[in-house]
Amino acid sequence: MGKTRLGFDIGSNSLKIATVHGGGVRVEEVRLPENMVDGTGAIVLPHAFAQFLKQTKKDLSLPRGPAALVLPPSQVICRLVTMPRMTTEQLMMNLPYEFSDFIQGVADQYHCDYAVCVSAEGDDEAQGVPMMAAVAAKQTLAEYARMFTQAGFRLKTVLPQEMALIQLCQARGAGADEFCFVDLGHQFTRITVVWRDRVQATRQIALGGKNLDMVVSNELGVDAFLSNTYKAANFQNVLAVPAAADVCERIAVEILKVINFYQFTYRSSTLEGIYLAGGGAALPLLRQSIENTVGLPLLDPADLLPEAAEAAAAGVFAAGAVMGGR
């Protein structure tokens, strides 16, 4: 029997926790208190979050084992780069230059890491080695480690969404070589195109569940926090109003634009479908709008996490964080 491992994914509206033990996965989703996390997913109140995490550990009877955390996209950059063959020491010295648009100040204040991609047909070894690389501020990583320690966890791994997704697909088999993964979050919708073990493209649009919350709030005259609950339950069939359909259509059109641009850039692209994740994936109106507008079949996240059933769409990143890796 292997050790129990925990994966955490902090959204702007909820905390997703994956408990992995003996090959099985259990996914829990816990609503975050108001104003604890900002619109980008960054924690506003570190001490309060540590206490919340500690209480959640007690409420869910979570073990103390090693934990992995998926960083919010606002606090880490992950991209596909090609580097000349060199020693590991040389690589770690040169990687920061690949993120000069993200790094502010002294490069020593940031931590870089990488994973070499599996060689594929068409790779030109003379051009260098393809790899997924990521960078995050050391101060940010230290703050997360401190919060998790205060809550009684041992934070062993921190990684971006993209790598968590690739680890999950490698561990469980994605069922497609090339696919689009759409995270329908509260503040943002994030579109990631994956080919085998490579993230080919990532885009983020400033539309998400909050836009539907605003519709519900206007229709029912309730505050934003309550409107999220009413949206999830489609209280009084509130999502049938034209304004809700308009928001869903806007999100779907933006996803289509990203996919069209990707297919224009990669003419040999053979996208096989779309995985929908995040809170928005549970909304039939939004799912239908995306499927009708984009014209690609919707793949079921439960195929990757069958034991999580309906919670699979919420738990893909948290589960992927503790599967595989270096």
What does the radius of gyration of the chain's CA atoms come to, in whole angstroms?
20
pLDDT of residue 1: 47
Do 33 and 149 fall within a single domain?
yes
Amino acid identity, position 114: Y
Q: How far is 8 from 11, CA to CA, in rounded Å?
A: 10
Do 150 and 264 fall within a single domain?
no
pLDDT beyond 70 at 293? yes
Mean pLDDT of 184-202: 88
Q: Does some domain include residue 86? A: yes
Q: How far is 262 from 301, CA to CA, in rounded Å?
A: 22
| 253 C-beta neighbours (distance < 10 Å), count | 15
Tell the burial category of 77 from Cβ atoms under 10 Å away from its Cβ (0-12, 13-18, 19+). buried
Do 97 and 196 fall within a single domain?
no
Reading the block at residue 248, the tokens are: 């869903």
Do 251 and 131 fall within a single domain?
no
Do 116 and 35 fall within a single domain?
no
Q: How far is 159 from 126, CA to CA, in rounded Å?
A: 29
At residue 32, the 3 state secondary structure works out as: coil
Q: How far is 210 from 225, CA to CA, in rounded Å?
A: 10
- For 241, phi then psi, to 5°, come to -70, 150
Contact 56, 6 (CB under 8 A): no
Contact 200, 180 (CB under 8 A): no
Decide the pairing of beta strands 110-116 and 129-137.
Answer: antiparallel
Reading the block at residue 27, the tokens are: 């996914």
Residue-number span of the structural domain to which 152 is assigned: 5-74+139-169
Do 155 and 46 fall within a single domain?
yes
Q: Which of residues 22 and 152 earns the better pLDDT score?
A: 152
pLDDT above 70: percentage of residues in the chain: 95
Do 292 and 200 fall within a single domain?
yes
Do 164 and 286 fall within a single domain?
no
| 145 C-beta neighbours (distance < 10 Å), count | 16
pLDDT-based confidence at 169, cuts 50/70/90? Answer: confident
pLDDT digits (tens, 9 = 90+) for 200-245: 888 999 999 999 999 999 999 998 778 988 998 999 999 999 999 9
pLDDT digits (tens, 9 = 90+) for 131-153: 889 999 999 999 999 999 999 99
Do 48 and 194 fall within a single domain?
no
Q: Which of residues 38 and 16 earns the better pLDDT score?
A: 16
Lowest-confidence pick of 43-47, 63-67, 271-275 = 63-67
- What length does the chain have? 326
Q: Does some domain include residue 319? A: no
Angle at 292 between CA 245 and CA 176, to 5 degrees: 130
Do 21 and 148 fall within a single domain?
yes
Decide the pairing of beta strands 178-184 and 274-277.
Answer: parallel
Contact 193, 183 (CB under 8 A): no
Q: How far is 226 from 235, CA to CA, in rounded Å?
A: 11
Q: How far is 84 from 296, CA to CA, in rounded Å?
A: 37
Q: How far is 133 from 64, CA to CA, in rounded Å?
A: 29
Mean pLDDT of 38-55: 91
Do 106 and 143 fall within a single domain?
no
- Please count the structural domains in the chain: 3
Q: Mean pLDDT in the chain?
A: 89
pLDDT beyond 70 at 77? yes
pLDDT-based confidence at 325, cuts 50/70/90? Answer: very low
Q: What is the pTM of this model?
A: 0.88
Mean pLDDT of 264-286: 91
Do 237 and 192 fall within a single domain?
yes
The CA distances from residue 301 to 132, 282, 307, in Å, are 23, 12, 11
pLDDT of residue 221: 92
pLDDT of residue 180: 93
Decide the pairing of beta strands 198-205 and 189-195.
Answer: antiparallel
Reading the block at residue 54, the tokens are: 């500690």
pLDDT beyond 70 at 94? yes
Q: How far is 204 from 122, CA to CA, in rounded Å?
A: 29
pLDDT beyond 70 at 315? yes
